[in-house]
Structure 1
Amino acid sequence: MEQHEIIQRAWALTEALEAAASAQDWVKAAELTQARTALVMAIEKEQSEEALVVIRRIQASIESMMGRAEAAQALLGTGYRRAMDQAQAAGRYQQAARF
């Protein structure tokens, strides 16, 4: 695959990744990230100005997505802890109700 194709495919995956993250589909986002990483690693140093514009957009998206993923992880973690606390409280109720 030539460099132009690699960069265009990486950009297409970036757009799909952003859509998955917007839909809170973090599993799909992770899969797309793995596919894109191989392409990003295959990008050579010397590129045309046009290619550099796309590469910079990919880099900006990566930075933005990191922030979104961190925020989502924190929110999901809080929800998980709250659900676990409620499950434990329900278990304590069941134990107390048996007596």
Structure 2
Amino acid sequence: MPHMYILRCGDGTYYVGSARDLDHRMHQHFLGKGSTYTSKRMPVELVYAEEYESIGEAFAREKQVQGWSRAKREALIAQQWSQLPGLSRKRARE
């Protein structure tokens, strides 16, 4: 089954991706061959994954989460569902 997934990189940043075969994709990332971004930020750790019926759905979710702030990604990883809507609102000007 296809997945959208989030990796925590060695430098503390997050990488959001999608894959038809998550196990195979993680193997590639762990070898430093998953992507240019992650290969330069080893080691990587899988911190979150969602399963989808199609790779198209997984890819759409990947693109959605890539547009999120770090705080919103961290709430998703922590499964703090109630915090997600509040993190979507634009901040008021200071």
Tell me the TM-score range normalised by the shorter chain. Answer: under 0.3
TM-score w.r.t. the length of structure 2 is: 0.25
TM-score w.r.t. the length of structure 1 is: 0.24
Report the structure, 1 or 2, having the larger helix content.
1
Larger Rg: 1
Report the structure, 1 or 2, having the larger strand content.
2
